[in-house]
Amino acid sequence: MRYLDLTLPTPEENLALDEALLDEAEQAATPQEILRLWEPGGLMVVLGRSSRIDEEVHREACRADGVPVLRRPSGGAAILTGPGCLMYALVLSYDLRPALRPVDLAHRFVLNAIASALRPLADAVRCRGISDLAMADRKISGNSIRCRKRHLLYHGTLLYRFPLELVGRYLRTPPRQPDYRVGRDHASFLTNLPLSRAALSAALASAWQATAPCARWPQEQTAQLVRDRYSLREWNEGV
């Protein structure tokens, strides 16, 4: 698998690159798989594709503090990310992995692989809910999926040094919650992994045998997606 550790200058570009990697794989003549890692330089809220901003986000707090609110192409609820939250994106091929076509099996496959890679470093990590990883009963990772004809994009978060006390300022209590949350607020539901970014990056690369450095990435497609989607209020706010 190819490996790309690349954080672009703006939130819009970083979200667009995940989708551009999926587009590039779909357009290729042969199956393509890649692991990308990145970490935002500042706080940002990212809505799920079907999220309603006023149900999930404290919009006025975001506006007052200059925290951008953007939308990703995959499902799930809104997240707050920033420094101390490692973001990853996997593009996986259905031709190489036909068992992943059922979405629930794709969730289990990816999350089990990541959990297995993390357990030697943090042995309480396990899958919880539909698309979470937790350490004991506290969430460390939220994830979502975007399916295309020949490939899927699976991407998510890994909290390791994130200011968790800020989450409640920018995010409302999500309208849909996994059972293991049992009504807890953000601060008592989330936790950080006791690991460095370097350790997390190495674990993810090992989990996916991502050993081939990616010499090029789809710059033109990324820029086009920023222009056509990720920079537009109509897309990000759903207006």
**Which is nearest to 12 in space by CA: 34, 44, 48, 51?**
44
pTM over 0.85: yes
Spatial distance between the Cα atoms of 42 and 156, rounded to a whole number of angstroms: 17
Say what the alpha-carbon torsion angle 118, 122, 124, 128 is, to the nearest 10 degrees. -40
- Strands across the sheet with 34-38, in order? 125-128, 132-135, 138-147, 151-159, 85-93, 34-38, 2-5, 212-213
Q: CA of 101: how far to CAs of 68, 75, 145, in Å?
A: 33, 16, 11
Q: What is the pLDDT of residue 239?
A: 61
Q: Which residues contact 164 (CB under 8 A, 6 or more apart)?
A: 186, 187, 190, 191, 192
Q: pLDDT tens track of the chain, all 239 residues?
A: 999 999 999 999 999 999 999 999 999 999 999 999 999 999 999 999 999 999 999 999 999 999 999 999 999 999 999 999 999 999 999 999 999 999 999 999 999 999 999 999 999 999 999 999 999 899 999 999 999 999 999 999 999 999 999 999 999 999 889 999 999 999 999 999 999 999 999 999 999 999 999 989 999 999 999 999 999 999 999 86
- Residue 180 has, within 13 A of its CA and on its CB side, a CA count of 16
Token pair belonging to 195? 């690991």
Residue 69, strand partner residues: 45
How many H helices and E strands in the chain? 9, 11
Spatial distance between the Cα atoms of 39 and 201, rounded to a whole number of angstroms: 11
Contact 37, 86 (CB under 8 A): yes
Spatial distance between the Cα atoms of 48 and 107, rounded to a whole number of angstroms: 16
Pairing verdict, β 69-71 and 44-47: parallel
Q: Is 80 helix (H, G, I), strand (E, B) or coil?
A: strand
Residue with tokens 């809220």, as numbered in its chain = 45
Spatial distance between the Cα atoms of 184 and 26, rounded to a whole number of angstroms: 40
Q: Which domains does the chain have, with CATH numbers?
A: 2-236 (3.30.930.10)
